[in-house]
Structure 1
């Protein structure tokens, strides 16, 4: 078989389609910015990083910049984003495989504000070593992994 030949796949073995989430890690003096989710279908009443999903036709870095502007009213340059963690998450609620990307900006422009009060009850800085009990579980996991310097982790998969 030639090295460029297609490898036959079993019938019904479609490629995996992942949901890709982007998360903004803003820290200041050992604290992290979290938002209290409200009026949302996922994790309403829980604390979570500013985040969203990649939309068709945009690279992940543009997705992160768009979400930062929509949620916090700040402007990021794609070149100012550092990918600090990748989480492969099997969502127990819907069984979907999700790739969660966590970015830390080296800088941003504007003043942080709650630009989506209909989706976010409040923004608050929390100590990294004192997150609220009602933090979205995979968010708390990822923040712990980031603190340990881990670039990759998984959640929800059986061992």
Structure 2
């Protein structure tokens, strides 16, 4: 059986690698700054930054995460004091999650670190290349989002 797969030419491999490298660098920078937040938790905080209370299911849908991953993510955010859970007034079986004042106060310092990491990731790209890269990634996301 002959197996042929050019990993270094695969958009799936390349986007996953780029994402993992960005997440690792972002997480390291957050740790160095004493933020106590992971890159994954930062993504959830950005969704919750609108101030809208939402269920774990709604958060998971916006992050494209499976139920078990969202549960671990929310548990970690709660342990660190970044979110609080409250009963949903419309459905007592559900809990709504919101950012705590502690997490809200961290949004801008974390955003500054995230901007620095993105600048490092985009080093050497001109404005047109950055726009084209974003446009192509958004097209891939649109093509694959369910």
**TM-score (structure 2 length as normaliser):** 0.26
Higher RCO structure (Cα 8 Å, ≥6 apart): 1
Q: Could you say which structure has the higher helix fraction?
A: 2
**TM-score (structure 1 length as normaliser):** 0.25
